[in-house]
C-alpha cells in the first residue's frame, strides 16, 4: 500500500500546485502536444485570486499548504537550476522557513529524551522560541562555559518531522521515476539521483549532531581568517535532536540600512565575504552552501559570522583545480585550455571535438573582455558555461552546481552591499594564491608527494589485490563453462516480485481514479 500512498500524496501535491496557480505561472507557450494541453488545463483550474499574485507568492502559499517537507524540497531545488531552470530556482530561493512554533513543553521533552538530562540541569535559563523553521526551532538559553556565563542558541528538532518527510519522500521518488521513464529530456538531469541527494541531505540535516560537526569543522578551518568566523558548538549539550551553539549578537547582512547606521564599511564587507567564500572553497574544499543574507551577521567590530549550516558543500581537489583553471583560462582568453580541462576531467564525453568546444567557450568569454571589470559577474560566467556544456552532453555535476548556486548568492549579497563591487579584483588575491600553490612548482611537488603516497599504499595492498584478482579469474572461467544460473528459490522470488509490481500498479491506478472522482465531487 506504500505505492498507493505515494500516488495519492503525489496527486495531492500536484492538485495544490495547480489550484494555487504555480503550474499556470510556468512558461508554457513553447510547449506542444499533451504538455501544452495539460498546462492550459492547469490555467483553467487554478484559483481566480491566484492570478493576481506573482509566481514567488504562489509558490510560498502552495508550499505552506503542502507542509514542511515541501519547504525543504523547494529550498533544495533552488540549489539545482539545471533541474528547475534559473528563474524558478531564483523564485524557490525566496522561500523562507516561516513555520509556526511548537510548544515549549515539546521542545523540553525532545531535549531531555535526546540528552538524557533535565533541561533545568543543562541550562541556567531556557527561553521561549524566537524562530521556527521547517526542520527545527531555536530557543535562547544560558550556560556556564570556562567559568563565564554565556548566551547560547538551542536548536530543537520539530516533533514528527522525520516521519512526515519520509512519507513525502516516497512520492518524490515516484515523480522522479516517472520523469525518467516518460520524459526523455529529463534523463540527462538524473531526477532519481537528484531525489536521492535530497533524501541524503535532509537526513543529515535532521540529525543535529552532523550539523554540529559541519559547524565545528568550519570553525576550525576559519580560525585564522580575517574578518570572518563561525560560532562554537557546545558538544556536551548537543545530540540527535538538539544543537547548542554560541549566540550571535550582530546586524543581519540583509539589513543594509542598519549596517550603515552602525558605521560598517560596506565595501570592505563585500570584499571579505567573497574572499572568505573562495578561501573556504579553494583552500578547504568545504563551504557554507546557504549564504543568503539572512544567515550572515555582522558583529560590532565588523566581523562576519555565518549561521545555519543545514546545507554545506564539498569540492574535491580535482574539482577545485577544474574551477581555478577555468577562471584563469577565461581571464587569459586561453579557451583551448579551458576546453581541454573539461575533457581531462572527464566532464565532456571524448567523442566530442575539443576545437568545437573551445569555439563555444569563446562565444562566452569574448564578450566579457569588452566590459569593465566591475560589471563582469563570475556567477553569470559559470551559468553560461553550464548552459554550453549541456550542448556537449556534459552530465549534471551536483557538487559544481551547488558551488555555482552559492557563488550566485554570495556575489549578489556583495553587490547589494557595494553596487560597484569588482568581483575579479576582490577574488584575485585568493585565486592567484591558490593557483600558485597548486598549479605552479609547489603544486607539482605536492602532487608528486601525493602520488608517491598512493603508490606506497597500493604496494601495501598488492598481495590482497592479487588474491582477489585470482579468485575473480577463476569465477569468470567457471561461469564461461557452466553459464550463469539461478537456483529455484531465486527464480521464484523474481516471479513474486514481478507479480507484486503489476498488482501494485493496478491498485495505484484505481486509487488515483477514486481520488480524482472524490475531488470532482467536492468541487461539484
Q: What is the tens place of the pLDDT at every residue in 391-410?
A: 777 766 666 667 777 887 88
Q: Which residues contact 464 (CB under 8 A, 6 or more apart)?
A: none
In terms of domains, do 392 and 278 share one? yes
Q: What is the tens place of the pLDDT at every residue in 364-391?
A: 777 766 666 566 666 666 667 666 766 7
> Would 350 be classed as within a structural domain?
yes
Q: What is the tens place of the pLDDT at every residue in 26-53?
A: 666 666 666 667 767 777 777 766 666 6
> Would 349 be classed as within a structural domain?
yes
Q: State the first-to-last Cα distance of the chain, in angstroms, to the nearest integer.
A: 29
For residue 431, name the pLDDT band (cuts at 50, 70, 90): confident
> Would 46 be classed as within a structural domain?
yes
Report how far apart, in Å, the C-alpha atoms of 511 and of each of 173, 287, 440, 516 are: 18, 45, 63, 9
Assess contact for 378 and 407: CB atoms under 8 A: yes
Give the domain extent around 41: 2-97+163-203
Question: Angle formed by the axes of helices 378-391 and 354-368, to 10°?
Answer: 150
In terms of domains, do 87 and 198 share one? yes
Handedness of CA 376, 381, 383, 384 (dihedral sign): positive
Closest by CA position to 23, among listed 41, 7, 8: 41
Q: Which of 203, 228, 263 is the last residue of a domain?
A: 203
pLDDT for residue 178 is more than 70: yes
pLDDT of residue 399: 64
**Among 211-225, 298-312, 427-441, the least confident range:** 427-441
Closest by CA position to 285, among listed 319, 312, 315: 315
- Give the SS3 label for residue 402: helix
Residue-wise DSSP of 251-264: EETT-HHHHHHTT-
Residue owning grid cell 551559468:
383
Higher local confidence (pLDDT), 461 or 61:
61
pLDDT of residue 42: 72
pLDDT of residue 516: 45
In terms of domains, do 71 and 198 share one? yes
Residue-wise DSSP of 92-152: HHT----PPP--HHHHHHHHHHHHSS-HHHH-SEE---SEE-SSEEEEEEEEEETTEEEEE
Higher local confidence (pLDDT), 266 or 373:
266
**Among 196-210, 284-298, 363-377, 509-523, the least confident range:** 509-523
Q: Which of 439, 455, 476 is the last residue of a domain?
A: 439
Assess contact for 136 and 91: CB atoms under 8 A: no
pLDDT of residue 523: 42
In terms of domains, do 174 and 309 share one? no
Q: What is the tens place of the pLDDT at every residue in 44-95?
A: 777 766 666 666 667 767 777 776 667 767 766 666 665 566 666 666 666 6
- Within 10 Å of residue 209's Cβ, how many Cβ atoms? 16
CA 305 – CA 288 distance, rounded (Å):
11
Q: Cell numbers of 185, please? A: 529530456
Q: Count structural domains, the chain.
A: 2
Q: Cell numbers of 474, please? A: 577463476
Q: Which of 203, 230, 260 is the last residue of a domain?
A: 203
Q: Which residues contact 248 (CB under 8 A, 6 or more apart)?
A: 153, 231, 297, 299, 305, 307
pLDDT for residue 4 is more than 50: yes
pLDDT for residue 443 is more than 70: no
Residue owning grid cell 516480485:
497
> Would 454 be classed as within a structural domain?
no
Q: Cell numbers of 512, please? A: 488515483
Closest by CA position to 378, among listed 468, 513, 277: 277
For residue 227, name the pLDDT band (cuts at 50, 70, 90): very high
What is the set of active-site residues? Answer: 290
Q: Which residues contact 76 (CB under 8 A, 6 or more apart)?
A: 198, 201, 202, 311
> Would 31 be classed as within a structural domain?
yes
pLDDT of residue 524: 43
CA 105 – CA 119 distance, rounded (Å):
11
- Give the SS3 label for residue 7: helix
Q: What is the tens place of the pLDDT at every residue in 104-149?
A: 999 999 999 999 999 999 999 999 999 887 788 999 999 999 899 9
Assess contact for 126 and 141: CB atoms under 8 A: yes
In terms of domains, do 319 and 178 share one? no
Q: Which residues contact 452 (CB under 8 A, 6 or more apart)?
A: none
Higher local confidence (pLDDT), 493 or 153:
153
pLDDT of residue 242: 96
Higher local confidence (pLDDT), 29 or 463:
463
> Would 301 be classed as within a structural domain?
yes
pLDDT for residue 8 is more than 50: yes
- How many Cα atoms within 13 Å fall on the side-chain side of residue 293? 17
CA 137 – CA 68 distance, rounded (Å):
12
pLDDT of residue 477: 65
Q: Which residues contact 271 (CB under 8 A, 6 or more apart)?
A: 414, 421, 426
pLDDT for residue 424 is more than 80: no
In terms of domains, do 350 and 272 share one? yes
**112-121 long-range Cβ contacts below 8 angstroms, 24+ apart:** 113/241, 114/239, 114/240, 114/241, 114/242, 115/237, 115/239, 115/242
In terms of domains, do 183 and 257 share one? no
pLDDT for residue 515 is more than 60: no
pLDDT for residue 465 is more than 70: no
In terms of domains, do 263 and 351 share one? yes
pLDDT for residue 511 is more than 50: no
In terms of domains, do 45 and 177 share one? yes
Assess contact for 328 and 431: CB atoms under 8 A: yes
Average pLDDT (474-491) is 60
pLDDT for residue 290 is more than 80: yes
- Give the SS3 label for residue 78: coil
In terms of domains, do 302 and 364 share one? yes
- Give the SS3 label for residue 209: helix
Closest by CA position to 76, among listed 203, 175, 181: 203
> Would 471 be classed as within a structural domain?
no
Strands, E, within 187-306: which ranges? 228-229, 242-246, 251-252, 286-288, 296-298, 304-306
Higher local confidence (pLDDT), 510 or 413:
413
In terms of domains, do 22 and 170 share one? yes
CA 148 – CA 409 distance, rounded (Å):
37
In terms of domains, do 310 and 169 share one? no
> Would 275 be classed as within a structural domain?
yes
Amino acid at each position: 500500500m506504500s505505492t498507493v500512498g505515494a500516488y495519492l500524496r503525489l496527486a495531492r501535491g500536484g492538485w495544490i500546485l495547480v489550484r494555487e496557480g504555480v503550474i499556470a505561472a510556468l512558461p508554457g507557450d513553447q510547449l506542444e502536444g499533451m504538455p501544452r494541453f495539460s498546462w492550459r488545463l492547469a490555467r483553467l483550474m487554478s484559483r481566480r485570486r491566484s492570478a493576481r499574485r506573482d509566481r514567488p507568492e504562489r509558490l510560498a502559499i502552495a508550499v505552506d499548504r503542502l507542509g514542511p517537507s515541501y519547504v525543504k524540497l523547494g529550498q533544495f531545488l533552488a540549489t539545482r537550476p539545471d533541474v528547475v531552470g534559473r528563474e524558478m530556482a531564483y523564485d524557490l530561493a525566496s522561500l523562507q522557513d516561516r513555520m509556526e512554533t511548537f510548544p515549549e513543553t515539546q521542545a523540553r521533552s525532545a531535549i531531555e529524551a535526546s540528552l538524557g538530562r533535565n533541561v533545568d540541569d543543562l541550562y541556567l535559563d531556557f527561553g521561549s522560541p524566537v524562530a521556527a523553521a521547517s526542520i527545527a526551532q531555536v530557543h535562547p538559553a544560558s550556560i556556564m562555559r570556562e567559568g563565564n556565563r554565556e548566551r547560547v542558541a538551542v536548536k530543537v528538532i520539530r516533533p514528527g518531522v522525520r516521519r512526515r518527510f519520509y512519507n513525502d519522500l516516497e512520492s518524490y521518488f515516484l515523480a522522479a521515476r516517472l520523469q525518467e521513464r516518460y520524459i526523455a529530456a529529463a534523463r540527462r538531469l538524473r531526477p532519481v539521483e537528484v531525489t536521492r541527494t535530497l533524501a541524503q541531505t535532509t537526513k543529515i540535516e535532521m540529525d543535529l549532531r552532523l550539523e554540529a560537526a559541519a559547524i565545528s569543522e568550519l570553525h576550525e578551518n576559519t580560525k585564522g581568517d580575517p574578518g570572518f568566523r563561525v560560532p562554537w558548538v557546545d558538544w556536551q549539550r548537543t545530540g540527535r535532536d538538539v544543537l547548542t551553539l554560541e549566540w550571535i549578537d550582530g546586524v543581519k547582512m540583509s539589513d543594509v540600512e542598519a549596517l550603515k547606521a552602525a558605521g560598517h564599511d560596506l565595501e570592505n564587507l563585500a570584499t571579505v565575504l567573497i574572499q572568505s567564500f573562495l578561501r573556504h572553497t579553494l583552500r578547504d574544499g568545504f563551504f557554507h552552501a546557504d549564504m543568503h543574507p539572512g544567515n550572515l551577521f555582522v558583529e560590532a567590530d565588523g566581523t562576519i559570522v555565518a549561521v545555519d549550516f543545514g546545507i554545506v558543500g564539498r569540492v574535491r581537489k580535482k574539482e577545485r583545480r577544474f574551477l581555478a583553471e577555468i577562471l584563469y583560462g577565461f581571464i587569459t582568453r586561453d579557451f583551448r585550455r579551458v576546453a581541454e580541462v573539461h575533457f581531462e576531467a572527464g566532464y565532456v564525453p571524448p567523442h566530442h571535438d575539443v576545437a568545437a568546444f573551445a569555439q563555444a567557450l569563446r562565444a562566452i568569454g569574448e564578450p566579457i573582455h569588452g566590459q569593465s571589470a566591475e560589471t563582469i559577474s563570475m556567477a553569470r560566467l559559470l551559468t553560461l558555461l553550464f548552459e554550453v556544456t549541456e550542448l556537449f552532453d556534459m552530465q549534471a555535476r551536483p557538487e559544481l552546481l551547488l558551488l555555482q548556486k552559492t557563488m550566485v548568492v554570495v556575489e549578489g549579497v556583495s553587490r547589494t552591499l557595494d553596487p560597484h563591487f569588482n568581483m575579479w579584483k576582490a577574488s584575485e588575491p585568493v585565486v592567484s594564491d591558490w593557483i600558485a600553490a597548486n598549479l605552479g612548482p609547489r603544486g607539482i611537488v605536492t602532487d608528486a608527494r601525493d602520488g608517491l603516497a598512493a603508490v606506497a599504499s597500493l604496494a601495501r595492498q598488492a598481495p590482497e589485490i592479487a588474491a582477489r584478482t585470482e579468485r575473480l579469474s577463476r569465477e569468470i572461467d567457471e561461469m564461461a563453462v557452466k553459464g550463469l544460473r539461478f537456483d529455484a528459490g531465486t527464480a521464484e522470488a523474481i516471479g513474486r516480485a514481478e507479480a507484486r509490481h503489476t498488482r501494485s500498479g493496478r491498485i495505484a491506478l484505481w486509487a488515483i481514479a477514486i481520488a480524482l472522482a472524490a475531488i470532482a465531487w467536492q468541487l461539484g
